[in-house]
Structure 1
């Protein structure tokens, strides 16, 4: 009856991922089987039962050299009077309208895992059949899921991912063009069903969320192990706290330099998540963090200092020349192999530690001396420090605020000394100073701040701004006023600011009176120049001058 109900309630084939079983020696299954063949045209039948029986007999008698002509008699003996057409099970895959006649579960598993023996003993294979593994994230997780399924490292897989397959995913996800647009969970579950229809697969096509977290971890029995390979920091943290509360071990693969994380919460229930690298990042707090606030945690978790040079270079190009960070099929498949191996050894009590590991193929398989790759773009290479002659050349012909050469060498040293106390990322101090012609030129020294974290020199420019502010404050304490002219930001122009100095304004009455007289004299000179050229001015401009003078006289009296 289960088969009939499945047929009556089959959802859209774009969402279907579970095969349907027909054991036609059972009357109800036979009726459902006949109805399906009658009502569904174009079903492809693959009758593999005879070849499966041959292999089962061969696997059951490894010490006997069976001749080709002996198999019919041995198959007949094994059937013991049963009709080969109704032996075993028919498995229907609705998404491809394919029907396979094959061995039923016990004999199927016996044959399919035969080549595991004795790397995995029969007793160990039986133990693994009872294990449940959850996988979060299927861009990398699909290879892990398929490898776990092929090796039959577990009896149940729970797959969580909210995304659909796109053309650009085919560089690392094993599927065909006809599956683009399908949920990644559906694609992975179908692949597994076509390898082994008896493995239980449960999918969570909305991804792992707080709403379905309990179901993912505990519905149908508690998970025995969690494989976390998702991109979202929120879920990385939240699912680990959940796993720790249930004492479930967590394995994470990053597919860069073969990095693998293992956290044995089953043996260390008080172990800090992510080896303490996410200290202070609690589930209830992470919801309130902006993307910018998450970046320091992400860099600490992935180990910014240990990721490969190529990945660092690629990250600079994200949303510039590429849409997102790159992943390679070779790295993803390697991650599937390593993760499966570790999961199996955890289940079989052969591995007990927690830690972070690197299976870096560039390190283990490569030339003893690695030549510089000609494919690395020149702009990935760090710049060279600027020479004194280059700095002096950039000061030629520069304009700056008007100021007198009023500072002594001692004051200059104090001013620059204050400027370089400004904070900078990693204390890189990305500045150089040149004092020439009563002007202080401030340059961005890119060789000091060059880093894949300092995108477009944003951090360096903030540090240079802080240095200028320090200089202003120090100038004021020395009785000077710093007149700053900022240069437009440009990758081709390292000059950031030009500073000149004048005596600071005074508040004494004598100085104020003197400055007022100077202002009056300057104003009189301007107005005399205007008066002498008034006949050459357009009528509209003469009206404007008249209005300005009237406003000044209303406020300050007739001072001209």
Structure 2
């Protein structure tokens, strides 16, 4: 048994109230009817039934060239429902951590409607291809934003997430969460958020983070990752993850939340490529294990590059362990990194972007007082 767990079935984490997977019920199935009746008696969840408006959206999306009158749309809905009670259509989804029961379209219709506004920045054919992709995210501070953006665009059919840390108050400057979630594992916070966006999107969780023992299963078990997103703080894991990704020809991307810096390493196309563009040459995996944030700084400077850092990050790094606890990250930078990272993941998956390299999307350079306003 590996040290990771998928948590697909009942587990000790669920018994300890770290439930993150919603329960699905289809009233067309007798067993589900029985289970749902028991749930209603024991848990008494708040019921949210907005199924009819979803069905209206589905009909309009399927017939985009038709402008329905309210009466015509109502008739189309009734025709779709037929003689079967509306409660027997679609799926009832129970979110235990909120104790809410939501009536939703079934998976194919739900995904069709939810991604309909992607058209045609993402075509229907591309969306189907993306649904076959699996993306792994290590580290769920910056990584949480990337994972949620991937989920919102539905740029993959499966997301694997790994983080051993818990949500702290100082994380709320950049992690999308609330005070009622303080103390929860970051993987729980992230998995629940994804489930509330799309209960059909497959999420596989690694609550222990990434270790020497579980890195191979994370990359390979259940099918090889199509892309690895590295946002972990552990420098030794950054090195290890890339060594393994290179071995298995998996591309890696990493956002650093400073000057819009994104690293892309196409080990799938360049299996002999030096890790971290050769900037990690001479760094020993064992040497980097267990370093404090202050002790990591020389290695961070080597990997990220002191000359290309923003002035404010350079100043901040000198204060780590003195006037500040660790290096800073801003919500705006994390959000930018999520957008850039998710965009690059999508284009890699669709074969639209094939290069490796270090890229900057520096907002202060793009929008600055030094440039003349063309308007």
User: TM > 0.5 between the two?
Assistant: yes
**Distance (Å, rounded) in 1 between the aligned partners of 2:291 and 2:170:** 30
Q: Is 1:32 aligned to 2:35, yes or no?
A: yes
**C-alpha spacing 1:152/1:358, structure 2 compared with 1 (3 Å):** same
Give the C-alpha shift of residue 299 in structure 1: 1.2
User: Does the Cα contact within 8 Å between 2:235 and 2:289 map onto a contact in 1?
Assistant: no
**Distance (Å, rounded) in 2 between the aligned partners of 1:234 and 1:8:** 30
Output one character per residue of 1:334-392: Cα deviation in whole Å (capped at 9) or x when no partner.
Answer: 0000000000000111010000000000000010189xxxxxxxxxxxxxxxxxxxxxx
Q: Is 1:89 aligned to 2:95, yes or no?
A: no
Partner residue of 2:199?
197
Give the C-alpha shift of residue 73 in structure 1: 1.1
Secondary structure of the corresponding residue to residue 142 of structure 1? helix
**Distance (Å, rounded) in 2 between the aligned partners of 1:9 and 1:163:** 17
Count matched residues. 365
**Distance (Å, rounded) in 1 between the aligned partners of 2:62 and 2:282:** 57
Partner residue of 1:23?
26
Structure 1 stretches of 4+ with a deviation exceeding 4 A read: 5-10, 284-295
Partner residue of 1:67?
69
Instruction: Trace 1:105-184 onto structure 2 (pairs within 5 A).
Output: 105-184=107-186
User: Does the Cα contact within 8 Å between 2:294 and 2:326 map onto a contact in 1?
Assistant: no
Give the C-alpha shift of residue 167 in structure 1: 1.1
Output one character per residue of 1:44-93: Cα deviation in whole Å (capped at 9) or x when no partner.
Answer: 11001111101001111111111122222101111233221110000110
Q: Is 1:365 aligned to 2:358, yes or no?
A: no
Give the C-alpha shift of residue 7 in structure 1: 8.2
**Distance (Å, rounded) in 1 between the aligned partners of 2:75 and 2:12:** 42
Cα RMSD for the two superposed structures:
2.1
**Distance (Å, rounded) in 1 between the aligned partners of 2:39 and 2:292:** 53
Output one character per residue of 1:410-452: Cα deviation in whole Å (capped at 9) or x when no partner.
Answer: xxxxxxxxxxxxxxxxxxxxxxxxxxxxxxxxxxxxxxxxxxx
Instruction: Trace 1:304-323 onto structure 2 (pairs within 5 A).
Output: 304-323=306-325
Secondary structure of the corresponding residue to residue 353 of structure 1? coil
Give the C-alpha shift of residue 12 in structure 1: 3.6
If asked which structure has higher relative contact order (CA below 8 Å, sep 6+), I would say 2
1:101 to 100, 103, 106: 103
User: Does the Cα contact within 8 Å between 1:13 and 1:94 map onto a contact in 2?
Assistant: no
User: Does the Cα contact within 8 Å between 1:6 and 1:20 map onto a contact in 2?
Assistant: no
Q: What TM-score, normalized by structure 2, do the two folds share?
A: 0.93
Instruction: Trace 1:452-531 onto structure 2 (pairs within 5 A).
Output: none
Q: What 5-or-longer segments of structure 1 have no aligned partner?
A: 371-560
Output one character per residue of 1:257-289: Cα deviation in whole Å (capped at 9) or x when no partner.
Answer: 000000000000111100000112354565598
Secondary structure of the corresponding residue to residue 226 of structure 1? strand
Partner residue of 1:385?
none
Give the C-alpha shift of residue 244 in structure 1: 0.5
**Distance (Å, rounded) in 2 between the aligned partners of 1:121 and 1:334:** 24
Secondary structure of the corresponding residue to residue 137 of structure 2? strand
**C-alpha spacing 1:147/1:165, structure 2 compared with 1 (3 Å):** same
**Distance (Å, rounded) in 2 between the aligned partners of 1:292 and 1:68:** 64
Instruction: Trace 1:442-461 onto structure 2 (pairs within 5 A).
Output: none
Instruction: Trace 1:262-281 onto structure 2 (pairs within 5 A).
Output: 262-281=264-283
**C-alpha spacing 1:202/1:7, structure 2 compared with 1 (3 Å):** closer
Partner residue of 1:298?
300
